A and B are shown apart, each in its own frame.
Chain A
Amino acid sequence: MVSLLDIIGPVMVGPSSSHTAGACRLGLLARCLVGGTPQSALLQLHGSFARTGEGHGTDKALVGGLLGFRPDDERLREALHIAEGEGLDYRFEKTTVADAAHPNTVRINLERDGTQSTMLGSSLGAGRVLVQEIDGYPVEVTGNLHTIVLVAEDRKGSIARITGILAEHDINIATLRLTRKEKGGDAFMVIECDEQPDKKAGEELRALDWVRWTRRLDKVSGG
């Protein structure tokens, strides 16, 4: 469904909604995976991100996102210099993720206080983004809502338990997508929420012994 506010917006630092605003949002989402500004980042650029990214400030926008700057933050212009002061050691690499990958794709490898995480995401145009992979698990995250990504053993009643915890924390589920590779294999859950899940809810989910890991990604777009 197209929203009027997606058409008149976003408010953003130029020059390109896909190469700048979208890149910044991918950085913001990746930052969530390690819970703050990472100490080191390896950003592998694919396709048009690699070819014309420099002229579009894609590098600044990605690093700015990792620093927690939003697409309309004028500090994006100086993000590469600010990163040095914030102790973020970043490195760019040109690569081919896969021949069929979207032209504006980046793989972001992060480390913060011993926590490592890898995210693969694409900028689809008009500032819209799609995260396709987190730590090797296939996902589909748009950043339009607060999102919980969770990998759990495939067992009966798991959804009821998880949605129960969210309900206890007064969090309404907008969408829930469950997939698995095989019967009895790991279940991947992407839960989009209307409210921002609090830290406590995350801890309770993590405490379930059949939950392998869970990550919370903040809303980065959608008005």
Chain B
Amino acid sequence: MYKALADAIKDAESQKKTLAAIALAAESRDQGRPVEEIRAVLKRALDVMRTAIDKGLTGDMRSASGLVGGDAAKLQQNQNGPLAQTPFRDILTRALAVQEVNAAMGVIVAAPTAGGAGVLPAILTGLAKARNVSDENVVDGLATAGLIGAVVAERASLSGAEGGCQAETGAAAGMAAGAATEMLGGSPSQVGHAVALTMQGTLGLVCDPLGGLVELPCVFRNATGSAIALAGIEMALSGITFAIPVDEVIDVMGEIGREMDVRYRETAGGGLAATPTGRKLAKERLYQIKRSES
């Protein structure tokens, strides 16, 4: 797999191919598996993503601690917000839905991780619905997203414990923005700018879940991460470029993660987890989980 998005973009441009095609060819070469087989695995992932969204919207999802759940339905029903009836609002709803299913031990696709699993399905399936994109093109989107995620894994990190939330929902937003930009007709170079324009907006984001549970703020960070990705997509497709090359943006995300105090890396020692209310809620809820299981 590629270690720099610049190299993948260069190959795509010189071969006049999409980044999805370039990514699938590289994966096929690396793993010795035919492209069709890889596409079939990605199609199954897409089906699971859609099932999770439906379940989150219709099911009565409650997390182990009871800290999150039911908000996707609330967002879907509200007609008064400034984004009512827009794909933007639909995407935020989908992101919450997937994360509520995740928190309730439902089946999701960790893409790239379980904690950031809401962004990519929300953006890709939401835009596919709004723009009538075929499943085949959405599967291509997943391949492009996988390429971007692989580069982030190689150059920085995809783990909140290593790099904070910028490495989970931030990376997910970058992956989703790049994938959607290509899905909506953007060029390989526009994909690069979409990733850079998105990830510049999540740099420094800490991982501070209450009680260390993938619940609060994780569920909401998937919605706000999706919003930042939409901003990146919109700007890149308008021809806006970001002066710092995408690989350098990814590198600096990794650098910030390594410099980040351990309290802000999934340990529940800082950030929202360490606020007076954060501590109190975590203590009460963890006690409740123990009691309900014993």
Contact = CB atoms under 8 A, between A and B. Distances in A.
Interface of A: 1-18, 20-21, 48, 51-52, 54-57, 59-60, 72, 74, 76-77, 80, 103, 125-127, 223
B105 A4 contact: no
Contacts, number: 155
Contact of A126 (B24, B113, B215): B113
24 contacts: A1-B1, A1-B30, A4-B1, A4-B149, A7-B112, A9-B41, A9-B109, A9-B110, A10-B109, A11-B107, A12-B107, A12-B114, A13-B106, A15-B64, A17-B113, A18-B159, A55-B64, A59-B293, A60-B105, A72-B48, A76-B105, A77-B105, A125-B113, A223-B41
A183 B83 CA distance: 72
Contacts of B102: 14-15
Nearest to A222: B31
A60 B64 CA distance: 12
B247 to A, nearest CB: 15
A17 B113 CA distance: 6
A54 B292 CA distance: 11
Provide the main secondary structure of the chain B interface: helix
B107 A8 contact: no
B23 interface: yes
A21 to B, nearest CB: 7
Nearest to A127: B110
A11 B98 CA distance: 13
Contacts of B153: 2, 7
Interface string B127-154: 0000000000000001101110110011
A63 to B, nearest CB: 12
A102 to B, nearest CB: 10
